[in-house]
Amino acid sequence: MALNKTVKIALAISFFGCVAFVLGVIAENKKPAGGIPIQGRGVIICQYPSDMTVLLGVFSVLALFISMFVGFISIFYPYNGKSVPTEALFRSTTLLVFFTIAIGVTVLAEGMMIWATVTEALHRSHNVHHNLESDCPTAKTGVFGGAAFLALDAALFWLICQMLALNARADYLDEDEDNKGDYGQVLTTDYRADQAGHPFPSA
């Protein structure tokens, strides 16, 4: 049985959020505590082990961005071909609060992951130091891991936003159908009353 659009979108948010989390955790575990300082002529050359820390960080950033993008789309997506105005969706205070939190957590997670990835890449590319006391640093310990857990939290918040958006859509569509029903009933009642008073068309 084919999955409907709602489930597919939720699975996409979850999948890419989990990928961002796993890659961030692996990057944290693979990252060396420091490089190996090699004495040169008035400089220290830092030799770092060959690993995929930077690449893992880049892929984690991309995965989280995709999760965020799909999560954002999930709120405004016209499920079953029925669009709902944005102002109608955000009449729900709960949705507005969780939407704001989801964006904030995502931005924080992306910022931390990008910072850790760029820092690690810079340490490896600029590995010659004139400070003879340099200890060949790497990105600060815990940043990759912290960003990974924030990425997972962001995905969860986007899933909550999707559920709240579906509830807001249902409330709006039900209200819209009720209004149309009442309007139709009024027209029918007026028409019948008019016909009763004037059974034949006037000349």
Q: What is the pLDDT of residue 177?
A: 63
Listed by start position, the domains of the chain span 5-194
Q: What is the pLDDT of residue 125?
A: 87
Q: How many CA atoms lie within 13 A of 29 on its CB side?
A: 7
Q: What is the pLDDT of residue 203?
A: 41
Q: What is the pLDDT of residues 104-153, one digit of tens each?
A: 999 999 999 999 999 999 988 888 877 777 778 888 899 999 999 999 99
Mean pLDDT of 96-109: 96
Q: Cα–Cα distance between 113 and 118 in angstroms, integer? A: 9
Q: What is the pLDDT of residue 130?
A: 74
Q: Is 126 left (phi over 0), alpha (psi -120 to 50) or beta?
A: beta
User: Which has more confidence, 172 or 18?
Assistant: 18
User: Which has more confidence, 101 or 6?
Assistant: 101
User: Which has more confidence, 33 or 94?
Assistant: 94
Measured CA angle at 62 (ends 57, 64), to 5 deg = 95
Backbone angles phi, psi at 38, to 5 degrees: -120, 125
- pLDDT of 186 strictly over 80: no
Q: What is the pTM of this model?
A: 0.80
Q: What is the pLDDT of residue 70?
A: 96
Kindly report the average pLDDT of the chain as a whole number.
85
Stated as kind and residue range, the H or E segment containing 73 is helix 53-76
Could you tell me the pLDDT band of residue 183, with boundaries at 50, 70 and 90? Answer: very low
